[in-house]
Amino acid sequence: MKIGILASEGSWYYRDLERAALARGHACTRLDFERLVARVGSAGETISATQLEHCGAQTTLPVTVLGGDGLASFDVILVRTMPPGTLEQVVYRMDALARIAAAGTRVVNSPKSLECAVDKYLTTARLRAVGLPVPETIVCEHEDDAMAAFEELGRDVVIKPLFGAEGRGIVRVSDPDLAHRTFRTLMRLNAVLYLQRYIDHEGFDVRVLVLHDRVVGGMRRRSPHDFRTNVSRSAIAELHEVTSIETDYALRAANVTGADIAGVDLLYDRQGRCYVIEVNAVPGWQAFAKTTGIDVAARLIEELQSGLMPEEPGG
């Protein structure tokens, strides 16, 4: 297989995937969203890129991702980074991925699933639509609506950036004056206000890693001093035996976003009720691999190789 991986420079994930790919005889190339070039013209439609690393060596050679003759240089494009950017950049990158997928190259995760998972509102709405328990959530743009939502949610809310990750920018607010000031500031920044009822939890959440409709394993992320239990916020990862209910929730949650590889976050309140709070379509696995002893990169490469992952329908 020729595997193109969209990954940031020096990333642990690229190294890990490269190791697993090369050990299985696959060619592995690192690409960057910022170095994609899409051409539309008399020669048809092409997308090229600069190879930044290829089979263990640094390079800057151009490579065709999508050829005008419909030929592609890669069997699969793995998306291992979703760098923040302007709305224009993000939309263009997603469109380019969708064109590559439409031409018949497997893109993992699929552009549609990435689009869904990156958007907390869309994800939460879809989770709820298939009957999964989610925290009460209100999304709005105006500070007055946000204040009404704050009251409705019991004056103890978590405010999240709509497109955030790793716990960044997430705050808990229970003071009305602070809530009002926060909403006003966010409204001036033209932000979408995504509010959730605060789930009173015991300081841990459960991350379940799903790979193509199967649970790979689970870990607990415990954080004694921060309600945000992200490992990137120094939570401690512990091995967790995934229960049958957690398996059911995680598989349904991954399925509803369409992600082949997904990190599903589950949060328990003090009464033991379980909520699905997030589906991450570009999940990290450094802490997960260390905690569970599972070689996730190898599993992912083997899954791609066995061709089990469905192709993105053309269109």
Residue numbers at the binding site for Mg ion (CB under 5 A):
265, 278
Nearest to 123 by CA among 283, 276, 290, 8: 276
Nearest to 175 by CA among 199, 157, 201: 157
Question: Which of helix, strand or coil describes residue 92?
Answer: helix
| Identity at 288, one-letter amino acid code | F
Cβ atoms within 10 Å, residue 137: 21
Q: Where are the alpha helices (DSSP H) in 108-226?
A: 111-118, 120-129, 143-152, 176-188
Residue 265 in contact with ligand ADP, rule: CB under 6 A: yes
Q: What span, in angstroms and rounded, lies between the C-alpha atoms of 248 and 208? A: 11
Residue 228 in contact with ligand ADP, rule: CB under 6 A: yes
**CB-wise, 35 or 252, nearer to Mg ion?**
252
Number of residues counted as binding ligand ADP (CB under 6 A): 22
Q: Which of residues 59-88 bind ligand ADP (CB under 6 A)?
A: none
**CB-wise, 16 or 265, nearer to Mg ion?**
265
Stretch that binds ligand ADP, among 92-100, 104-112, 125-133, 162-170 (CB under 6 A): 162-170
Q: Which of 47, 107, 158, 159 binds ligand ADP (CB under 6 A)?
A: 158
Q: Which of residues 178-217 bind ligand ADP (CB under 6 A)?
A: 196, 198-199, 201, 205
| φ and ψ at residue 280, rounded to 5 degrees | -100, 120
| φ and ψ at residue 264, rounded to 5 degrees | -105, 125
| Identity at 149, one-letter amino acid code | A
Residue 277 in contact with ligand ADP, rule: CB under 6 A: yes
Q: Using CB distances below 5 to 8 A depending on partner kind, what does residue 228 bind out of ligand ADP, Mg ion, none?
A: ligand ADP
**CB-wise, 260 or 265, nearer to Mg ion?**
265
Residue 230 in contact with ligand ADP, rule: CB under 6 A: yes
Residue 229 in contact with ligand ADP, rule: CB under 6 A: yes
Positive or negative torsion for Cα 313, 281, 277, 237: positive
Stretch that binds ligand ADP, among 30-38, 82-90, 161-169, 181-189 (CB under 6 A): 161-169
Q: What span, in angstroms and rounded, lies between the C-alpha atoms of 95 and 111? A: 8
- Determine the longest span between alpha carbons in the chain, in angstroms: 64
As measured in angstroms, the least distance from the Cβ of 229 to Mg ion is 8
As measured in angstroms, the least distance from the Cβ of 276 to Mg ion is 11
Give the interface with ligand ADP as residue ranges (CB under 6 A): 135, 158, 160, 164-168, 170, 196, 198-199, 201, 205, 227-230, 265, 267, 277-278
